[in-house]
A = this chain, B = another copy of it.
Amino acid sequence: MIDDAIKKLAQEPNFAALTTLLPDGRPMSHMMWVDADDEHILINTEVHRQRFKNVERDARVAVTIINRDNPYQYAEVRGRVVDTTGGDEARANIDALSRKYVGNDYDPAAITTERVILRIAPDRQRAY
């Protein structure tokens, strides 16, 4: 289960630094939109991205979610990508995320390949 305070942080329009591992084990981070359900941190990306290739090869990630109004309030979740879902569900999810962050559906022209949802189960989660 995702801690309530961390779920709230992820469900509000805050940003997350997603860290994945490159083939040689080096960490790579990007700022991402984020969401959560009761059991997972959710990230939506595209299948051609290095971060997606990384998690297909090594599911271990770190997600740092930052309160945009107070950077001293943040959460770190270490965990694993336990499921990836593309197709209509990922397409609907990126529209929902876009409405949350910018107030309207996602621009279809911004999609290069295919959207995909990463479901991240926590091994360790802590709020600061």
Contact = CB atoms under 8 A, between A and B. Distances in A.
Nearest to A68: B71
A92 interface: no
Interface of A: 15, 17, 19-21, 25-31, 60-64, 66, 68, 71-72, 74, 76, 78, 128
Contacts of A78: 26-28
B26 A64 contact: no
A20 B20 CA distance: 11
A20 B21 CA distance: 11
Q: How many copies of the polypeptide does the oligomer hold?
A: 2
Contacts of A60: 25-27
Contacts of A72: 31
Given A27-B78, A29-B64, 12 more contacts: A17-B19, A19-B62, A20-B27, A25-B25, A25-B60, A26-B60, A27-B61, A27-B62, A31-B72, A31-B128, A66-B66, A68-B71
